[in-house]
Amino acid sequence: MRNKIKVYRAMHDLTQEDLAQAIGVTRQTILAIEKGKYVPSLDLAFRIARRFDVSVEDVFQYDEEPRTVDID
């Protein structure tokens, strides 16, 4: 899942720590989401979007690439 959190943080002059405190998570959580290493829960995605006063779809874009799973 791609996201524009870094862009929105820059537009609002917020650090990762500022955003984390505003929505009740750690800075490491924000970092992981920004880097695509962690997919936020729906609740967390909405909290992030509300902080920037935009829709969830404005912040997050779902990658529709099919994923394959090796079961060997």
Q: In this structure, what CATH number is given to the domain that contains residue 33? A: 1.10.260.40
Residues with pLDDT less than 50, the chain: none
pLDDT at 24: 98
Structure tokens at 33: 């989401």
With the C-alpha atoms ordered 59, 23, 11, 9, is the resulting torsion angle positive or negative?
Answer: negative
Whole-number pLDDT of residue 70: 63
4 Cβ partners below 8 Å, 6+ apart?
Answer: 58, 59, 60, 61
Give me the pLDDT at residue 49, please. Answer: 98
Classify residue 25: in a domain, yes or no. Answer: yes
Residue 9 lies in a domain: yes
**Half-sphere exposure of residue 27, counting CA atoms within 13 Å on the CB side?**
5
Q: Is 25 exposed, middle or buried (0-12, 13-18, 19+ CB in 10 A)?
A: middle
Q: Whole-model pTM?
A: 0.84
Domain range for 8:
2-57
